[in-house]
Amino acid sequence: MRLFGRKAALLPFVALSAVLVAGVPQASAQNFFERLFGGGLRERPRQGGLPPAPSKPRPTARRAVPKISGPSYYDYKVDPLVKVDFSPLLAAPQPAGLEPILVGASFREAVAGLEGFDLAAEKDIAGALVAYYAQNPDFIWVSGLDLNARAVEAVRTLSDAGSFGLAADEYSIVVPPANMSLENQGARLAELIRFEMALSARVLRYARDAQGGRIDPNRLSGYHDFPAKPFDPAGVLKTLSRTSEVRTYLESRHPQNAEYQALRVELEALRASAENEVVVDPKLLLKPGGSSLDLPKLLGVIARGLDDETGADFGEVLARLGGSETYSEELVPVIRAAQEKVGLKPDGVIGPRTVAALVGTSKADRMDKVLIALERLRWLPSDLGSPRVFINQPAFTASYVEGGETKLLTRTVIGKPTNQTSFFFDEIEQVDYNPYWGVPQSIIVNEMLPRLRRDPGYLDRAGYEVTDSKGRRIPSSSINWGAYGARVPFNVRQAPSEANALGELKILFPNKHAIYMHDTPSKDLFRRDVRAFSHGCVRLQDPRGMAAAVLGTTVDHVVQKLGQGHSTEKVMRKIPVYVAYFTAWPDPSGNVEYFADIYDRDARLQTAIDKTDAVRRPST
């Protein structure tokens, strides 16, 4: 036997090592040879079968267990307003002299009135405003020496912004009084040209906000992922200069879907309604043995809703303990019965869903949720599409909608608060039957690696496949997992089986967040009211029904494909999927329902809106 040029004097040691390592796992044997020969022993390539495992580095100081962090929330930044630079307009050739005006104002004569005019606007709007009027030196909002009908309609539309959930004072301007006097033409022209520019700037702000929202969602967090909506300010002004239907045009910039209209109707109804008689903290969490000032309010609501049957069972307890702030064991059956009556899991824990179902949310809270929902809808396409799949995370539901009708509504499990599901939209591409589960690097590092350092072979026993960067299979037990930190140079996937984390199928819409819909072996989680347990993907209670819907086929077809082993079927239609986040959303009948803010995103969005409002209002 020749040991890669080693002298024959080493042969006795080789024989000894062979005896010592006989029957010892490969990893231990390799470590022994490395200690004995300083890492000089290498295995010759084998023909056929699995390629050899990579040689392990010499043991070093044990690395700290690494972590791969997920997306984060940002401190929302609002772009400052800029002063509109009118110098290009002022520098344009002006008329030689100001002649008496008997018919109307000349735009070029009026431009001089912009000297010293301090108008603030968003940077892109400021630039577009000057560029438009440089190329189109004419009034849009002025005829003669007064405001025209377009201007009147535009001002009325802006003042009605609140009906769409926008803040009307962010679009308000000073309207010059009617004045047909020719005694001071210069002052009147300056007044009109300044009004012209201010109204155009605010109209552009309104049009952009209506089309895409006041907030850039991608600045909120790494969980928000939306393409920029193209906005053509010059095109908006050009259209407005030619149409008499100013309100119709501006309001057409808002989302044109039934959900947006239903939320507007709800907002109007809320503004006209009285406050709830009973207001309970919507985030109340009370377990037996705890206490809360809100408990008597909740018990009072339950007492008023007693019928003959529940009154006989719990009337005496409520009469005696209805004013108690301590949630005693005697009250647990009362709460369980009330939960069961409204369709909740009777677990006896008083949480946000129990409060919402028994008391409802306050008027102020509902209004806030509707305003937030209107803003979020402006981030999505105006036409949501048909057919479409809509996942509403706070509702823990996924629906398939076609022709304006909800054809399928199924429960979902979404990401844990520590592994949140992102908010984005995409397009469904395929269905995988009996899928492999490619384990994300974050799970390999954060969850598997600590165990693999103690038990390198557990992936082999659990039915996982480990491959290197070239796709070659490697036994998990042969890898020195302690040598790696946050970058593990191996891929791990779980083969199709009853224990596979994805269950029997998955529905893909490839995206950078690695989120998709799939089945799950953990069916019991769908019985819970709050279903935030996944690593970010969306688990479906009825995956076969959803697969059949997006494929435009039957559940029988899906079952047949499942019986044929691992395969893939392409979705041949254009079906958008919205992985959305709405704490207020209309049901299939158009009635708005309210949900708990599972990830506390409403407050973060409200903060961004408040910051935007603070920047804009000083300029009005």
pLDDT tens sequence across 353-365: 898 888 877 888 9
Q: Which of 65, 66, 56 is nearest to 35 (CA)?
A: 56
Assess whether 422 and 544 both reside in one domain.
yes
Assess whether 389 and 443 both reside in one domain.
yes
The predicted pLDDT at position 377 comes to 98
Assess whether 13 and 145 both reside in one domain.
no
Which has more pLDDT, 276 or 469?
469
Query: Could you give the CA distance from residue 417 to residue 607 in angstroms, rounded to a whole number?
Result: 20
Quick one: average pLDDT of 125-145? 95
Q: Is residue 235 part of a domain?
A: yes
β-strand pairing of 592-594 with 491-494: unpaired
Quick one: average pLDDT of 563-577? 96
Amino acid letter for position 436 = Y
Does 484 have pLDDT greater than 50? yes
Q: Is residue 540 part of a domain?
A: yes
Q: Is residue 52 part of a domain?
A: no
Q: Is residue 620 part of a domain?
A: no
Quick one: average pLDDT of 401-426? 96
- Looking at the chain, the whole-number percentage of residues with pLDDT higher than 90 is 65
The predicted pLDDT at position 485 comes to 85
Query: Could you give the CA distance from residue 424 to residue 578 in angstroms, rounded to a whole number?
Result: 6
Helix (H, G, I), strand (E, B) or coil at 505: strand
The predicted pLDDT at position 356 comes to 84
**CA atoms in the 13 A half-sphere facing the CB of 334:** 30
Q: Is residue 253 part of a domain?
A: yes
Q: Which of 581, 584, 605, 512 is nearest to 221 (CA)?
A: 605
Which has more pLDDT, 337 or 545?
545
Residue 201 near residue 125 (C-beta atoms within 8 A): yes
Assess whether 144 and 237 both reside in one domain.
yes
404: which 2 tokens?
Answer: 């304006």
Helix axes 149-159, 185-212, angle to 10 degrees: 50
Instruction: Write out the residue range of the structural domain in which residue 227 sits.
Output: 82-263
CATH number, residue 492: 2.40.440.10
Among 205, 230, 263, the domain-final residue is: 263
The predicted pLDDT at position 67 comes to 77
The predicted pLDDT at position 66 comes to 66
Assess whether 411 and 508 both reside in one domain.
yes
Assess whether 154 and 91 both reside in one domain.
yes
Which has more pLDDT, 29 or 590?
590
Lowest mean pLDDT among 36-45, 141-150, 435-444: 36-45
Helix residue spans in 322-360 (DSSP H): 332-341, 352-358
HEC per residue, 10-51: HHHHHHHHHHHHCCCCHHHHHHHHHHHHCCCCCCCCCCCCCC
DSSP states along 86-127 = -HHHHTS---SS-PPPSS---HHHHGGGGTT---EE-HHHHH
Does 1 have pLDDT greater than 60? no
DSSP states along 198-216 = HHHHHHHHHHHHHHH-SS-
Among 228, 263, 298, the domain-final residue is: 263
Residue 405 near residue 411 (C-beta atoms within 8 A): no
Assess whether 557 and 420 both reside in one domain.
yes
Please, is 465 exposed, middle or buried when counting C-beta atoms within 10 Å of its C-beta (0-12, 13-18, 19+)?
middle
Q: Is residue 109 part of a domain?
A: yes
The 10s digit of each residue's pLDDT in 50-73 is 444 454 444 444 556 667 778 999
Q: Is residue 332 part of a domain?
A: no
The predicted pLDDT at position 261 comes to 97
The position carrying tokens 């009307």 is: 168
Quick one: average pLDDT of 76-97? 86
Other beta carbons less than 10 A from residue 48's beta carbon: 5
| Contacts of residue 373, Cβ cutoff 8 Å, sequence gap at least 6 | 263, 582, 583, 584, 585
Helix (H, G, I), strand (E, B) or coil at 388: strand
The predicted pLDDT at position 37 comes to 32
Q: Which of 263, 327, 254 is nearest to 296 (CA)?
A: 327
The 10s digit of each residue's pLDDT in 202-223 is 999 999 999 999 999 999 999 9
Assess whether 532 and 405 both reside in one domain.
yes
Q: In whole angstroms, how far apart are CA 474 and each of 467, 487, 488?
A: 6, 17, 14
Quick one: average pLDDT of 99-111? 66
Q: Which of 429, 452, 379, 463 is nearest to 577 (CA)?
A: 429
Assess whether 14 and 140 both reside in one domain.
no
Q: Is residue 359 part of a domain?
A: no
The predicted pLDDT at position 497 comes to 87
The pTM for the full model equals 0.81
Assess whether 252 and 136 both reside in one domain.
yes
Query: Could you give the CA distance from residue 305 to residue 178 in angstroms, rounded to a whole number?
Result: 60
Among 263, 278, 304, the domain-final residue is: 263
Assess whether 26 and 90 both reside in one domain.
no
The predicted pLDDT at position 483 comes to 87
Does 78 have pLDDT greater than 90? yes
Assess whether 564 and 445 both reside in one domain.
yes
The predicted pLDDT at position 95 comes to 53
Quick one: average pLDDT of 283-296? 92
Beta bridge partner(s), residue 431? 507, 569
> pLDDT category, 106, cuts 50, 70, 90?
confident
Quick one: average pLDDT of 476-504? 90
Lowest mean pLDDT among 433-437, 483-487, 561-565: 483-487
The count of structural domains within the chain is 3
